Structure 1
Amino acid sequence: MIGGYIYKSEEEKISNRLKDILSNSFNLLQCYNHGFLFYDDNFPAKQTTSYSSENLTVLSQDLLITRDSDGNYTQIQSGNEFAELYRTEKQECLKKIVNDFRLIIVEKNRDDVILHLTSNRAGNGRIYYYQTDSGILFSSDIRFLFQILPFKVNDLALFAILKYGAVPEPLTISEDFFAVPPGKYLHYTFKDSSCRIKPYFQFEFPSDSEKFDETRRDEYLQPAKKVLRKSADFFSQRQSAILLSGGIDSSLYALYLNENYRGSIQGIHCTFGDSDPEFPFARELAEKIDARFLVGKMREENALQILEDTVRLTGHPFSDFSSMPIVYVLKFIKENVRNAEILIEGNGGDDCFGFPDLTSEQKFRIKNIFPGALKTVVSAIFRNSTSWKWESQNQLLSKILALTDVHERSPINYFLVLTPVNFLGLNTYRSWDSRLNDILEDGFSAYNPEGKNLSYQAQVTIRQLIHVNSRRWAAKAYSVGENLGLRVIYPYIWRDVLIEQGKIPWDLKTYNGIVKWPLKRLLEEYMPRDFIYRKKSGFVPPLVKWLTSPRFNGMVRDTLLSTNGNMARLIPSRIIDELLTDALQGKNLRHAILNFLWGAFFTERWIQNQQSP
């Protein structure tokens, strides 16, 4: 964890609390008699980039990787090296770092102090901050800030988690704390206490204007293949482990990693009980690269302990019920994998190279034709029906209800909605939808350089990468790994991949109806077609089965129906009771309902954990 406190004049309540917490277990970098930066020892000292001089202070605990003159990836080895880069390039140096990183820069000019706080480009790492009239307090872990100042639950953030699965920046789960959004940095000037958020990365989509040439199918893929292999070559020189799901993304990257790896790759797979349809494929891939293959078996009796670990280790609340197996497998790695400095995750492959909603424009436009008022009426009529919450045999009714379960101002945002909001009867203000929409749209538009008229596919890709992947999917492992001392890396969302994916024609990302065709095509060089083009089952834990357990179901019920609970302010108790009774009885609840229950439950438990003495 990294952080700091920069001030004109110290606020006693902040400085005293910081002194108590930082006295023993943190390292300090003083900043010109106007504050300090700090960092913990969760990673070895050699993996922390720090520098301090009379006019520049730098701090990061992430790898800082650039390209050398030959185009190969190389790590910045010291704070001195980065300081020299910054003095030469200033803020432009942020664009030269290819991996995801968080970075604090404090620069002293003649009569001012300038602070830069940088969040991940497309990963989940953020810098959180609290601004006062006299200074600014910040940290890469929002939970640390809760030890300094009161945690006031933000009800708009609760609604965002229930509806969209995550809180869009700069909002956070607490009313008084804010987050620097992905791909951006905060520019704070000491003299006038002003904060401005500026982008250091924006998406480009040359594919929007280039005509697709069928004869060049394989040629289009070569630049992306080249940068993926270069990053794999970089990690092949380090002690790396990789999560092997049996899917396309991790399999292709493991094969690239194996080409120059010194020794045997450590591949890790997580199964649920003794039946896992993806296990044979993960094992097949592991055997092909002669990996040291480790398998963690997560069983039903582990669920309650893993739940507590998930609440304790996760950096912020969001909705994705595959969080629990990710926490399980990371703890398994910590206990069973020796000398692994880096853990490679395959998230980002779908987002960059093809996902189903690239072809859903017409469906969303049809859904948007229905006025919001009509949807409200229809949902009220059918609220007592089971078709909106159970997997239904009445396909016609299910399709009608799916058209009325939510209304979005922008049709592109329908795919971001996780829950059937209209049927849940949440106790929220109508203005909340407008506020969240404005925050989302302001954020997404900032990734579009010069306000270009982007295609539907480009707009939905930005949303997929920034909201679905950065705020949800990458969140499952990132902060948990940090808390366990594991550095989790996502090479599919490195800068050069984000650039090259924008050049691949849209027709190839869903070629002949095959999503993620570019990666599948590249994998044909190594694996048989029945491995590549099979139906993928996905990494989904047995939450349905857990909810049929009276003990697990009872814990969820007690948590969400607590009279002093936070979610109780938004969710009618009738809805919680009804859905959990259905789950206990083994009803076939829809995926959207499971997301809703998990998001509400996990968020409530996470808040309780932060507010407990």
Structure 2
Amino acid sequence: MCGIAGLLTTGRVEEATVRAMADALAHRGPDGSGVWRDEAAGIGFGHRRLSIVDLSEAGQQPFHSRCGRYVLTFNGEIYNHALLRRELEALEAIEWRGHSDTETLIEAIARWGLEGALQRCSGMFALGLWDRETRQLSLARDRVGEKPLFYGWTGDKLLFASSLASIRAVPGFVAESDPDITALYLRFNYVPAPFSIHRGIYKVMPGTIVTLDARTIAAPPVLPPAVPSRAPGLACSRYWSLAEVVRAGKRAPEHDPDRALAELERTLSTAVAQQTMADVPIGAFLSGGVDSSLIVALMQRAIGSRVRTFTIGFAEPEHDEAPHAAAIARHLGTEHHQHYVTADESVDVIAAMPSIYDEPFADSSQIATHILSRVTRRHVTVALSGDGGDELFGGYNRYTMTSRIFDRLSLVPASGRRGLGRLLGAVSADMLDRLGGLPFVPALPMLGNKVHKVARAMRSGGELAEIYAAFTEEWHAGVPIAHPARLALPAAEPIDGLSREEQMMYWDILSYLPDDIMTKVDRASMAVSLEVRAPMLDRDVIACAWATPLSLKIRDGQSKWLMRQLLYRHVPRALIERPKAGFGVPLGRWLRGPLRPWAEALLAPAALAQVEGLDARAVRTRWEQHQRGTHDWTGALWSVLMLMGWQGRC
């Protein structure tokens, strides 16, 4: 795992500039650095290395192909690179310089071209590739956006990097933002791709190759290129399409539970085994939920020895899953480490969030994820996680709630449904939490927050997109930006025949997974130089998931049914069956307590007035309602707090 950066210019390639871009990524690669320039071509690459596979000098980057045509700066892991090496060796005799996956990748590119090589690769990555023959720069990102990659133009330069901090390190770069992008951020709690918070800087979309040459410097695009598209000096294409995977799975679903279970076990076991590849210590996150428990169980079987597992806990019982994780660790026999988080510790971490996430980002579980990463890094350099299981196998409450609630309410007139939604929304979240566990009231973690999301969905117009927005957008219809212009996001390729639940899973994998979940994990872990791998996001596991019909994912109201059947082979059912709690700190309570002075300073009217277009009155209203306890506006307020913190840092 590494940090990459580079520039293409019609002017002079200053080594100091390329090195400054790379040095801004030192946290992503503390083990080494490299700079390469070609003055005649106007190209320069920088690299920061976190040594994972092949710790020798043979793994140093930027990397040159044996034929001399290609130069590569690469961030990530190619998990099947040993198989690719054998395939390449069957075609020609190759004298390898080392055993790094970067060397395998560049020789695969030399043999099959970039698109052909990436189609063969299983992994997580972002890369910059210079083709000396065509004098073109290609940028590419993995299938589901596990690794970040930004690009854009300033003056006489085309820039790319793993981080916006690297781009801001370029002399003369002006970091501009505007209310349009701020509105998108406040709507989603993240800046959705292909946009970044800075005007003129974009994100490479997952599964995509962007190829550019110097002609774009004179006339950079005003908006990010669509996929696919072509313009003078610029081409954008997909080497992998989620829509095609979904259609293929829907054409040939596996309805037999035994065969579906066997295929899930085969593909996930292979992915876990491949992702234990490392020349450094490796462990796993263990929350005690279905996803992480299954990964740990399969990992223990794959490596044949005790896995090192890590979890964090909280004093507040509704947020504390550490006892569940410890019980599963005891059953599996792992070397388990747990750490209890205090409010004071979180305050210190929160102050660093705007620097760790170098554009505004407001998934509050970012705090817990960073603390967990920091604890884990004391013992290992690589950790496996269960990320992706919810989106692929129906784990989120919104998937089960949507049909359960709206099928039952379909006979209720829309006006009555909206009235009931308003009534539920008027009950404070704290009171709903206190009602949990009483007769006829489910004892769910964060019950009030869940009920308020349901209430918002009931007040919507009934269209699936509106219901989905009510569950996922914290400000929902009240984004506090004065007259925001609506930037168009890339439309999801339509797929016929999807159920409501499958449609939401499809939307989640396209945007929420890369722009929220994987952004959270990447920044939180790489801030402490920890590599996190997600076997659930292996390409074959994704294909397996979409060939699994909904009836084997959600059954009798239970989510991730097929995954549970596989897990029960390793862990007793009694250790697993409990309500899904999510992974986060008791932030809403802390905003009324130890975090209140910090938040009050950021949300002061004078401070809010510094953000162009921000409706300070709307923000203050929600802040005061939250303090009174009549509403739980944690998510909405956190988005503004992270925006204000970022404004003060960047």
How big is the shift at 1:171? 0.8
Q: Does the CA-based 8 Å contact 2:84-2:108 persist in structure 1? A: no
Q: Does the CA-based 8 Å contact 1:42-1:485 persist in structure 2? A: yes
How big is the shift at 1:564? 4.9
Cα deviation 1:206-263 (Å, max 9, x = unaligned)? 44345774xx212112222112111222344543111110101111110111113254
1:529 to 561, 568, 573: 573
How big is the shift at 1:71? 13
Using the size of structure 2 for normalisation, the TM-score is 0.79
How big is the shift at 1:313? 2.0
Relative to structure 1, the CA distance from residue 483 to residue 211 in structure 2 (aligned partners, 3 Å threshold; closer, same or farther) is closer
How big is the shift at 1:526? 1.5
Relative to structure 1, the CA distance from residue 408 to residue 345 in structure 2 (aligned partners, 3 Å threshold; closer, same or farther) is same
Partner of 1:184: 208
How big is the shift at 1:387? 5.0
- Measured in 1, the distance between the counterparts of 2:459 and 2:153 equals 41
The aligned runs of 1:389-404 (5 Å cut-off) are 402-404=457-459
- Measured in 1, the distance between the counterparts of 2:408 and 2:167 equals 45
- Measured in 2, the distance between the counterparts of 1:390 and 1:162 equals 24
Relative to structure 1, the CA distance from residue 299 to residue 84 in structure 2 (aligned partners, 3 Å threshold; closer, same or farther) is same
Which residue identity lines up with residue 30 of structure 1 in the other structure? R
- Measured in 2, the distance between the counterparts of 1:186 and 1:499 equals 25
Partner of 2:296: 254
Equivalent pairs, count: 582
Partner of 1:559: 602
Which residue identity lines up with residue 535 of structure 1 in the other structure? P
Gaps of 5+ in 1: none
The aligned runs of 1:363-378 (5 Å cut-off) are none
- Measured in 2, the distance between the counterparts of 1:285 and 1:571 equals 47
Q: Does the CA-based 8 Å contact 2:80-2:121 persist in structure 1? A: yes
- Measured in 2, the distance between the counterparts of 1:78 and 1:419 equals 41
Relative to structure 1, the CA distance from residue 548 to residue 79 in structure 2 (aligned partners, 3 Å threshold; closer, same or farther) is closer
How big is the shift at 1:67? 6.4
How big is the shift at 1:175? 1.1
Q: Matched residue of 2:598: which SS?
A: helix
Partner of 2:139: 117
Partner of 1:29: 36
- Measured in 1, the distance between the counterparts of 2:562 and 2:137 equals 41
Which residue identity lines up with residue 353 of structure 1 in the other structure? F
Cα deviation 1:510-539 (Å, max 9, x = unaligned)? 022211111101011112222232223332
How big is the shift at 1:69? 5.7
Cα deviation 1:566-608 (Å, max 9, x = unaligned)? 78544433333333334334x1633xx2111111111221232
Which residue identity lines up with residue 206 of structure 2 in the other structure? P
Relative to structure 1, the CA distance from residue 39 to residue 557 in structure 2 (aligned partners, 3 Å threshold; closer, same or farther) is same
Partner of 1:595: 635
- Measured in 1, the distance between the counterparts of 2:310 and 2:596 equals 30
Q: Does the CA-based 8 Å contact 2:168-2:175 persist in structure 1? A: yes
Partner of 1:99: 123
Q: Does the CA-based 8 Å contact 2:150-2:162 persist in structure 1? A: yes
- Measured in 2, the distance between the counterparts of 1:365 and 1:412 equals 13
Which deviates more, 203-212 or 540-549?
Answer: 203-212
Q: Matched residue of 1:521: which SS?
A: helix
Q: Does the CA-based 8 Å contact 1:236-1:262 persist in structure 2? A: no
Partner of 1:283: 326
Partner of 1:64: 78
Q: Matched residue of 1:280: which SS?
A: helix
Q: Matched residue of 1:514: which SS?
A: coil
Q: Does the CA-based 8 Å contact 1:73-1:231 persist in structure 2? A: no
Cα deviation 1:269-293 (Å, max 9, x = unaligned)? 1001374652222112211232221
Partner of 1:89: 112
2:357 is equivalent to residue 341 of structure 1: no
Which deviates more, 234-243 or 461-470?
Answer: 234-243
Q: Matched residue of 1:103: which SS?
A: strand
Relative to structure 1, the CA distance from residue 33 to residue 364 in structure 2 (aligned partners, 3 Å threshold; closer, same or farther) is farther
- Measured in 2, the distance between the counterparts of 1:237 and 1:601 equals 39
Relative to structure 1, the CA distance from residue 65 to residue 212 in structure 2 (aligned partners, 3 Å threshold; closer, same or farther) is closer
- Measured in 2, the distance between the counterparts of 1:555 and 1:388 equals 24
Q: Does the CA-based 8 Å contact 2:141-2:149 persist in structure 1? A: yes
Relative to structure 1, the CA distance from residue 369 to residue 513 in structure 2 (aligned partners, 3 Å threshold; closer, same or farther) is closer
2:163 is equivalent to residue 141 of structure 1: yes
Partner of 1:489: 533
- Measured in 2, the distance between the counterparts of 1:197 and 1:573 equals 40
Which residue identity lines up with residue 137 of structure 2 in the other structure? L
- Identical positions, percent: 16
Which residue identity lines up with residue 211 of structure 2 in the other structure? H
Q: Matched residue of 1:589: which SS?
A: coil
Q: Does the CA-based 8 Å contact 2:553-2:562 persist in structure 1? A: yes
- Measured in 2, the distance between the counterparts of 1:233 and 1:211 equals 26
How big is the shift at 1:365? 10
Partner of 1:172: 196
- Measured in 2, the distance between the counterparts of 1:252 and 1:363 equals 30
Relative to structure 1, the CA distance from residue 512 to residue 363 in structure 2 (aligned partners, 3 Å threshold; closer, same or farther) is closer
2:240 is equivalent to residue 201 of structure 1: yes
Q: Does the CA-based 8 Å contact 1:76-1:82 persist in structure 2? A: no
Q: Matched residue of 1:484: which SS?
A: coil
How big is the shift at 1:68? 5.8
- Measured in 2, the distance between the counterparts of 1:321 and 1:563 equals 25
How big is the shift at 1:15? 7.5
- Measured in 2, the distance between the counterparts of 1:37 and 1:369 equals 62
The aligned runs of 1:217-236 (5 Å cut-off) are 217-236=257-276
Q: Does the CA-based 8 Å contact 1:50-1:79 persist in structure 2? A: no
1:52 to 54, 57, 64: 64
Cα deviation 1:381-416 (Å, max 9, x = unaligned)? x89x955987669x9999776444689894475356
- Measured in 2, the distance between the counterparts of 1:227 and 1:456 equals 26
Partner of 1:159: 183
Partner of 1:328: 371
- Measured in 1, the distance between the counterparts of 2:240 and 2:500 equals 20
1:426 to 447, 458, 480: 480
Which residue identity lines up with residue 171 of structure 1 in the other structure? F
Cα deviation 1:536-569 (Å, max 9, x = unaligned)? 33323111221122x5212212212353547854
- Measured in 2, the distance between the counterparts of 1:365 and 1:178 equals 40
How big is the shift at 1:352? 0.9
How big is the shift at 1:73? 13
Which residue identity lines up with residue 36 of structure 1 in the other structure? G
Q: Does the CA-based 8 Å contact 1:42-1:482 persist in structure 2? A: no
The aligned runs of 1:359-508 (5 Å cut-off) are 359=400, 360=402, 386=426, 402-404=457-459, 410-411=465-466, 413-414=468-469, 417-422=472-477, 424=478, 426-429=480-483, 431-432=485-486, 435=487, 438-441=488-491, 444-445=492-493, 456-508=500-552
Q: Does the CA-based 8 Å contact 1:66-1:73 persist in structure 2? A: no
- Measured in 2, the distance between the counterparts of 1:182 and 1:138 equals 15
